[in-house]
Amino acid sequence: MPACREHPCLAQRSAPLLTLSCDPVARDQWNGIPSGRVGGNLKIIAARDIRRGEQVTIQYGAGMLSNDRMVAEYGFVDAAAAELDVQMLRRAARGPDAQSLVGPGAPLRATSVADDQALLKDASACLPGSRMATAVAFRLALKKALAAVGKL
């Protein structure tokens, strides 16, 4: 699970509007529904009346988003999306641009899985929660998915 943190864009506001929580929540306990973006901000519609100060809970991806979308929409990699990553890469590996993804010289081959894991453990090189950490975690998720497809 990703580390729980406040979204960086909120630090520019006078008062925090949303703190991302990463705790698993049972489906019947969600009280917010992500409904897209407005002006670069995530829009959430209340599924019921929410008391002042009550935590708003949502399900990230609803088990339907691969990590390319998780990173784009929420800014973190979700280990639970691994099977969707595999499905996405199976399709991509059969497509016309497959060599740029898995061929010699493909960017994902520039570092090894062990290199990426070591980089994520080295806080001086890759600050936890940073964009760099998210990028390396995403690259690592793709490499694991490619290995599962038999292309790495």
Q: What is the pLDDT of residues 11-41, one digit of tens each?
A: 333 333 444 444 444 445 566 666 666 677 7
Number of Cβ atoms within 10 Å of the Cβ of 109: 14
Q: What is the pLDDT of residues 107-143, one digit of tens each?
A: 888 889 999 999 999 888 888 888 888 999 999 999 9
Tokens of 3: 């580390």
Number of Cβ atoms within 10 Å of the Cβ of 134: 19
Tokens of 93: 């590996």
pTM above 0.95, yes or no: no
